[in-house]
Amino acid sequence: DTGVSQDPRHKITKRGQNVTFRCDPISEHNRLYWYRQTLGQGPEFLTYFQNEAQLEKSRLLSDRFSAERPKGSFSTLEIQRTEQGDSAMYLCASSLAQGLSSYEQYFGPGTRLTVT
Amino acid sequence: AQSVTQLDSQVPVFEEAPVELRCNYSSSVSVYLFWYVQYPNQGLQLLLKYLSGSTLVESINGFEAEFNKSQTSFHLRKPSVHISDTAEYFCAVSTGAAGNKLTFGGGTRVLVKP
């Protein structure tokens, strides 16, 4: 297993454009999380899925943000009408919802978004 | 809601010297505690965790952290650092709610000097 992967690793877009990021979790993991990390800060929780169900969304996730995990495997995070304040590193993590393993989240390398 | 404070944003330290990274948390319920490390240009890696049992937990590369409930702290220590320990370290807590989502501190950047 190669771990959690994210694509693209870097994205530069102009304000007002839509962007979509993809996350592929560790294959047997049924939980998938999205976090956002701005410069000099720790990651902040955005949302999580258990299988294909989105079970929690942070207030940070405005209406311009939407996340999906249609088949309970990979997930996409779309940002519509991007703003400069959306510039950040978007991190994906996965875990196995089983006993103590459920507390161990494995993170991908992140997608760095720059909105110009 | 819970919060995590890492008091030091940067810690310069000489090779083979000890280091301590401070982490304090605030929560109205019981928490589970974690330290993650982020090496340059890499993703976050779990360094160690406290879920239950012994309040002193250790990692395979010589780090240890102690859960102190009365002080609401989970400080990270290493008795002798290596150049390869240069990284950013994040303390995080989970209450077990919302799929065990993590609340992170702001991070401490450790720069090990030769």
Q: Give tens-digit pLDDT for A19-47.
A: 999 999 999 899 999 999 998 899 999 99
| Gyration radius of chain A's alpha carbons | 14
Average pLDDT on B42-69 reads 92
Percent of chain B with pLDDT over 70: 100
Query: Within the 52-81 window of chain B, which residues sit less than 8 Å (CB to CB) from chain A?
Result: none
* DSSP 8-state assignment for residue B9: S
Q: Are residues B100 and B94 in contact, defined by beta-carbon separation less than 8 angstroms?
A: yes
| Gyration radius of chain B's alpha carbons | 14
Q: Which of A33, A36, A103 to mutate to test the interface with B (most CBs of B within 10 A)?
A: A103
Q: Which of B44, B45, B46, B88 to mutate to test the interface with A (most CBs of A within 10 A)?
A: B44
Q: What is the pLDDT of residue B101?
A: 92
Q: What is the pLDDT of residue B42?
A: 85
Task: Express each pLDDT in B5-52 by its tens digit.
Answer: 999 999 999 999 999 999 999 998 889 999 999 998 888 999 999 998
Strand partners, B34: B49, B92
Say if residue B69's pLDDT is above 70: yes
Task: Express each pLDDT in A48-76 by its tens digit.
Answer: 999 999 999 998 888 999 999 998 899 99
Q: Which residue has the higher pLDDT, B71 or B97?
A: B71
Q: What is the pLDDT of residue A102?
A: 78
The torsion region of residue A72 among left (phi > 0), alpha (psi -120 to 50) and beta comes to left
Query: Cβ A108–B98 below 8 Å, yes or no?
Result: no
| Interatomic CA distance for residues A95 and A75, integer angstroms | 14
Q: What is the pLDDT of residue A1?
A: 55
Where does chain B show beta strands of DSSP type E?
3-5, 10-14, 19-21, 24-26, 32-38, 44-50, 56-58, 64-68, 73-78, 87-94, 103-104, 108-113
Query: Cβ B43–A50 below 8 Å, yes or no?
Result: no
Task: Express each pLDDT in A75-102 by its tens digit.
Answer: 999 999 999 999 999 999 999 987 777 7
For residue A104, how many other CB atoms are within 10 A of its CB? 16
Q: Which residue has the higher pLDDT, B56 or A102?
A: B56
Residue in B with minimal Cα distance to A55: B98
- Average pLDDT over chain A reads 93
Percent of chain A with pLDDT over 70: 99
Residue B96 pLDDT grade (very low, low, confident, very high; cuts 50, 70, 90): confident
Reading the block at residue A112, the tokens are: 């760095």
DSSP string, A69-115: -TTSS-EEEEESS--GGG-EEEEEEEE--SGGGGG--EE---EEEEE
Q: What is the pLDDT of residue A101?
A: 74
